[in-house]
Amino acid sequence: MADATQDVSARRGLLRNLRAGLRVVCFLGMRGTDVVADWTQFAMLLVLSVLSTLVWQMATVGWPGYVNLWALPETLFFVPLLCLAAWSMAALGRRADETLALVVSVMSAGLWLDAFIGLATLVADHLPAKDAGPWVRWILFYVAVGWFVACLVVAASRRVALAWPARPLATLLAVAVVGYPLLTIGHDRTLWTKPYEESDAPAARADYDAVAREDVLYLQPRLLERDLAQLLPRQAGRPNLYLIGVAGYADQDVFRREVDAVDALFAERFGTRGRSLRLVNNRATVRTTPIATHTALAESLKRVGGLMDPEQDILFLFLTSHGSKNGRFSLSFYPLHLTDLTALELRGMLDEAGIRNRVIVVSSCYSGGFVEPLKDDDTLVMTASSRDRNSFGCSNEADFTYFGKAYFDEALRATDSFTEAFARALPVIAARERKDDYKPSQPQSFVGARIEAKLAAWREGRPKNP
C-alpha cells in the first residue's frame, strides 16, 4: 500500500510540475508551491524528455524507422548544461537550495516547448514550397534554443528573486552555459532514424558527390577548354556583345535555370549565340557544363577579352547566387571547398583580361556591395539588392529569382536598353515584395559616364530581329 500511495503522489507531483512548466513556457509567474522538486520528479522528467524527443522525431522523420541509442548522449546534452546554469543563477540569488526546483520547472517547460516546435515542424514540412521546409526547420531550431534560454532566465529571476543588477549576468550565464553549446553542438544523429536502404544509397551518393568524382574532376578542364574554343571571333564592322553567365550556388536549381534562361534570351534577342559562355555549379550539369570557380571565371574572361575589340565591344556578365553581408558572392559546390568571389577580385579579373566596356549584373543578397568597387566610366553595374538588404525568390522550383524575373524575363523582352529595363523592373520587384510582405531589397545601379554611349552604338549597329 505504501508503494501505491507513493506512486500516486509522484503522478500528482508530475502533473503539478507540468502545469508549472506551461506557465514557465508562457513566461507567467508561479508560486513556490507550484513545483514539486525532488529527485523522483527529476528522473521522471528526464525520461519524459527522451520520450518527447523520440515521439516528435517519429512524427517528423516518418515510418518505418528505428531507435538509434547512439543519439542518446546528444539528446540528453542539455541536462548537465541546465543543471550548471540553474545552480549558478540560484547562487547569484543566494538561494542555491532552489537549484533543483529551477531545473524541474525548466525541464517541464521544455516538454511544452518540444510540442510547439514539433507541431511547427510538421506544418513546415507540408508547406506548398518544397524548399521552404528546411529553411523553416533551421529558423525553428534557433527559436527553440532562444525560447529555452529565455524560460531559464525568467524562471530564475522569479524563483530566486534576482535583483535587477544580477539579471543581465544571469542572462549572460544562460546564453554562455546553455544557449551557445546547444547552438554549436553537431546535430547529425537523431533518436528515431530512417532505415538504411542499401539499394538507394549508391544513386544518392553518386548524385551528392558528383562533382568530387575523379573522372568529373579530370573532365572539368576539358569542358572549360571546349566551351572557350567554341567562342566565335567578333563580327567586324559593328560593336559586338559577349555574354558570360555564372550560377554560383549548387544546392538550388533556380540559379542554373536563370543562367540558362538568360543565355537563351540573349541569343534570341541580342545575337549572342556563339559568343556566350555558362559557368554553372549544379550536380545535374557536371558532365556537360564547366563549373563556376575563380579559375574558370578568370580563364573565361581572359579568352573573351582576347576576342573582343576593347574600344567597341561590350561584355555582359551575369552572376546569380547567394550572397553574404561581408560582400561575398557564393561559389558553393559541396563537397568541394570553393572560395567565394569578392568585388575586388572580380574587378582584378576584368582588368587583367583587358575588358573595358562592362555591363555587370549581380543577383544575390547584399549584392549592392559590388557597386562601389566595380564602378568606373566604362561600366554599368546593376544589383538585385542594396549592400545591407536581402533579395528574394531563391525557390528551388522557380525559373527566376524576383530580380531575374522582372529584369530579364519581363523588362528585357520589351526593351533593348539595359538601363531602361532596370528602371522598368524596379516597381515590379517592389510590388511583388510588398505583396509577399518582404522588406524592400532596394536594387542598385551605377551608369558610367562613357558606357551609355557604347551601349547606344551597340544597339544601333546590331542586327534587328525580324
pLDDT tens, residue by residue, 330-349? 999 988 999 999 999 999 99
Across 157-166, average pLDDT: 83
Question: How much of the chain, in percent, has pLDDT values that exceed 70?
Answer: 92
C-alpha grid cell, residue 275? 559568343
Radius of gyration, alpha carbons of the chain: 29
Query: Residues 373-428: pLDDT tens digits?
Result: 999 999 999 999 999 999 998 877 788 999 999 999 999 999 999 999 999 999 99
- Write down the domain spans for the chain: 2-193, 214-461
Fold designation for 214-461: Rossmann fold (3.40.50)
DSSP 211-279: GGSHHHHHHHHHHHHHHHHTPPPPPTTS--EEEEEEE-BTT-HHHHHHHHHHHHHHHHHH--TTSEEEE
d(CA 344, CA 294): 12
Longest dimension (CA), the chain: 105
Is residue 378 within 8 Å of 318, Cβ to Cβ?
A: no
| pLDDT surpassing 90 at residue 314 | yes
| pLDDT surpassing 80 at residue 310 | yes
Predicted pLDDT at 69: 86
SS3 per-residue string spanning 276-333: EEEEECCHHHCCCCCCCCHHHHHHHHHHHHHHCCCCCCEEEEEEECCECCCCEECCEC
d(CA 331, CA 319): 10
Question: Which is nearest to 105 in space by CA: 179, 45, 175, 43?
Answer: 45
DSSP 120-158: HHHHHTT-SSTTHHHHHHHHHHHHHHHHHHHHHHHHHHH
Strand 328-329 relative to strand 341-342, pairing: antiparallel
Is residue 320 within 8 Å of 404, Cβ to Cβ?
A: yes
Across 253-264, average pLDDT: 95
Residues 6 or more apart whose CB falls under 8 angstroms from that of 389 comprise 365, 366, 368, 439, 440, 441, 442
Across 4-31, average pLDDT: 81
Question: How much of the chain, in percent, has pLDDT values that exceed 90?
Answer: 67
d(CA 280, CA 211): 12
Chain centroid to CA 317: how far? 24
Residue 350 CB neighbour total at 10 angstroms: 22
Strand blocks (E) in 142-183? none
C-alpha grid cell, residue 453? 554611349
Task: Kindly report the pTM of this predicted structure.
Answer: 0.60
Residue 30 CB neighbour total at 10 angstroms: 17
Predicted pLDDT at 188: 55
Is residue 162 within 8 Å of 156, Cβ to Cβ?
A: yes
Is residue 278 within 8 Å of 292, Cβ to Cβ?
A: no
- Assign residue 444 a region (left: φ > 0; alpha: ψ between -120 and 50; beta: otherwise): beta
